[in-house]
Amino acid sequence: MLFKYFMLIKNNIEITLLYKSRLYFRGCMYFIVILLFNEILSNVTKEQRSLWYVTATQLIVFSASPTIAFQISYEIQRNQMISFLIKPIDYIYSKLTEAASETLIKLLLFFLIGFSTTLFLVKTNPIESVQQILYFIYLIISGLLISCFINICIGLLSFWLHDVKSIIYLNLTSSFCFGGLIIPISSYPKNYKCFVFLPHILGFYTPQHTN
Amino acid sequence: MNSLKYVFTSIFMNIKSFLNLDINFFATLIVSTVKQLLFIVAWMFFFNRYKIIAGWRFNEMLVMFGIVSVGIGIIEIFFYGIRHLPELVENNQLDIYLVQPKNIVLNIAVSKTDISALGDLTTGLILSLFSGYLLSSFSLVVIFFINSAIFIFSLYLFLGSWSFFLKNSNSFIKEVYQNTLLLATQPNSAYKGVIKLITLTILPVGYMSFFPVEYLLSKSIYYFIYSTLGTTLFLILSYGFFFIGLKKYESGSSFIDRR
């Protein structure tokens, strides 16, 4: 039963790898964003280690696949979902596998780029123990899964709403602002820290907080 | 004259059809306003802590956000069709625009409207007002609003034209667009070296967000010239890029309605 979904993941990974130029470009964008934050942070603080924080949060943002919400919304509104209904594959699972395989490739690529770039810029290694790495990997996968589920749910709202674009962007923006993507949540005023416990924000905040 | 009449009629029809979706309309309007304000809240915390970034204070951030938001608002309200260019190319649905004796880019652009972008427009105006620059340099800020709208139009056209060269690139282009806006809405004054070069060449967001704010700060005429000249050049380049890409377009012989 599950075998077909593993095969779907395998196929989707192969398809993602086919579009190499896009992967390179995404890698370049991630590299640019790290440099960008390095320049902003070097202007305001001497504590270079905060770049690791940014690298970790951006790793999750870049690896997550918000486009899945757009895709589901498009397929529902254009009635293209029908083609899935006649197949012996669950629509939600197929979308989840599609997002998971793309996310996995991006995560590996961005991890390599992010780790090497930040190590070069900061020159201090943030890894202190093996448990820390395992904990980080576990949380990053959980965070990405939460993000994936939320995007699928937003996409499915298209059954009732004409336009879910704003909700997609609201989700993205609130994750950006309250997920600690611009500045660490620890420096937010006390009252605002309660937002961290919203599921989509928790997915971003917790993994990078292990650093 | 006929083209202008056509543009206004198309925009009017699009707005009329969108207003029929009462609840959806207000829901999207509120959400898009909240979305913009959230960004500012986060930056407010940042500036509360660090006060100044390479010469920019919170007010400069506000006016920069305002200029970018108004630009996005204007284009998405009146010329939202241009954002759908990758989708049209991907589904081979450009044919209907190609056979009409009208300016093709303008024809695509006015084919759709997104009234929810009123949220971006109003937020942009409010932010500019709060920054103090809208009142102190009204005409200049208005010029930069127009400049920003032209830039956003060029950006959509430029990125959308990539779809002629890259197959199945619709969602990829959306990602690039998001990242480009991320570059545009950070405190640009902090950019140096490679990043500065990128924001002035490959993804030239500096002409929309860096130079206008620097001009408002320093009143050096060079920044004004750089901004307007850079945006005009980018528009011309985007048009050129679109027509080069159009030669690669493969017709799907499909004539869809324009809803």
pLDDT tens profile B30-76: 777 777 777 777 788 888 877 888 888 889 989 999 999 999 999 99
> So what's the pLDDT on residue B242?
94
Q: Which helix (H) or strand (E) holds B123?
A: helix B118-131
Closest CA to A101 of A173, A190, A23, A181: A23
> What is the maximal distance between C-alpha atoms in chain B?
58
Number of CB atoms found within 10 A of residue B132's CB: 12
d(CA A188, CA B47): 11
- What is residue B20's predicted lDDT score, i.e. its pLDDT? 62
Q: How far apart are CA B81 and CA B108, in angstroms?
A: 5
What is the reported pTM?
A: 0.81
Give the model's confidence band at B224: pLDDT under 50 very low, under 70 low, under 90 confident, else very high: very high
SS percent in chain B: helix, strand, coil, step 5: 80, 0, 20
Q: Which H/E stretch holds residue A111? A: helix A91-122
The one-character DSSP state at B54 is T
**What residues contact A121, with CB distance under 8 A and at least 6 apart?**
A34, A38, A48, A51
A146 pLDDT exceeds 70? yes
Residues of B in contact with A40 (CB under 8 A): 53, 186-187, 190
**CA-CA distance, B84 to B112, in Å (whole number)?**
9
How far from chain centre, in Å, is Cα B138? Answer: 21
pLDDT exceeds 60 at position B257: no
Instruction: Note the pLDDT of residue A193.
Output: 65
**Cα-Cα-Cα-Cα dihedral sign, residues B146, B147, B148, B151:** positive
* pLDDT at position A211 over 60: no
> Phi and psi of A180, rounded to 5°?
80, 30
Look up residue A38 and give its two tokens. Answer: 């390095």
Residue in B160, B172, B19, B181 with CA at minimum distance from that of residue B81: B160
* A194 touches B at CB < 8 Å: no
pLDDT averaged over chain A? 79
Residues 6+ apart with CB under 8 A from A21: B166
Question: How far, in whole angstroms, is CA A116 from its chain's centroid?
Answer: 19
Phi-psi region of B250 (alpha: psi -120 to 50; beta: other; left: phi over 0): beta
Verify whether the Cβ–Cβ distance B183 to A36 is below 8 Å: yes
CA A143 and chain centroid, separation = 8
Q: Report the C-alpha gap between B81 and B106 in whole angstroms.
A: 9
pLDDT for the residue B71: 94
Q: Residue B238: what pLDDT?
A: 95
- What average pLDDT does range B197-225 have in this prediction? 90
Q: Which residue has the tokens 């799907």?
A: B252
Say whether A173 and B28 touch across the interface (CB within 8 A): no
Residue A97 clears pLDDT 80, i.e. is over it? yes
For residue A74, pLDDT beyond 60: yes
For chain A, the residue count is 211
- Confirm if B32 and B117 have CB atoms less than 8 A apart: yes
pLDDT at residue number B152:
95
Report, as an integer, the average pLDDT of B90-107.
85
| A49 CB-near residues (< 8 Å, 6+ apart) | A122, A124, A126
| Cβ-defined contact of A176 to B176 (cutoff 8 Å) | no
- Name the one residue in this structure whose structure tokens are 């930040």: A118
Contact of B183 with A37, CB cutoff 8 Å:
no
Rounded Cα distance between B154 and B194, Å, is 23
Which among A33, A43, A177 has the least Cβ separation from residue B42?
A177
Instruction: Report d(CA A50, CA B165) in Å as an integer.
Output: 39
Q: Please tell me if residue B135 touches chain A, with a CB cutoff of 8 Å.
A: no
Q: Kindly report which listed range (A36-50, A99-113, A151-165, B193-207) carries the lowest average pLDDT score.
A: A36-50
The token duo for B65 is: 């956000």
E strand or H helix that includes residue B119? helix B118-131
A 3-62 near B (Cβ less than 8 A) = 19, 21-22, 25-26, 29, 32-33, 35-36, 39-40, 43-45
**Please, which pLDDT band fits residue B18 given cuts at 50, 70 and 90?**
low
What letter would DSSP give residue B51? Answer: -
CA distance A112 to A106: 10
pLDDT at A209: 59
**Interchain contact B202–A (C-beta under 8 A):** no
B182 HSE (CA, 13 A, CB side): 25
Q: Which of B27, B176, B194 sits opposite A35 (nearest CB)?
A: B194
Residues forming a β-bridge with B56: B53
Compute the Cα dihedral for B98, B100, B102, B106 and give only its sign.
negative
Cβ atoms B110, B11 nearer than 8 A: yes
Residue A27 has pLDDT above 80, yes or no: yes
The pLDDT of residue A13: 85
What is the structure's pLDDT at B74? 92
Q: Band of the pLDDT at A197, cuts 50, 70, 90? A: low
* pLDDT number for residue A63: 82
- For residues B77-89, average pLDDT: 90
pLDDT (average), residues B158-166: 91
Closest CA to B83 of B120, B118, B119, B108: B108
Q: Determine contact, residues B81/B108, Cβ cutoff 8 Å.
A: yes
Check residue A206 and give its pLDDT: 60
Tell me, what's the pLDDT at A195?
Answer: 64
According to the model, what pLDDT value does residue B240 have? 95
Q: Are B227 and B147 in contact (CB under 8 A)?
A: yes
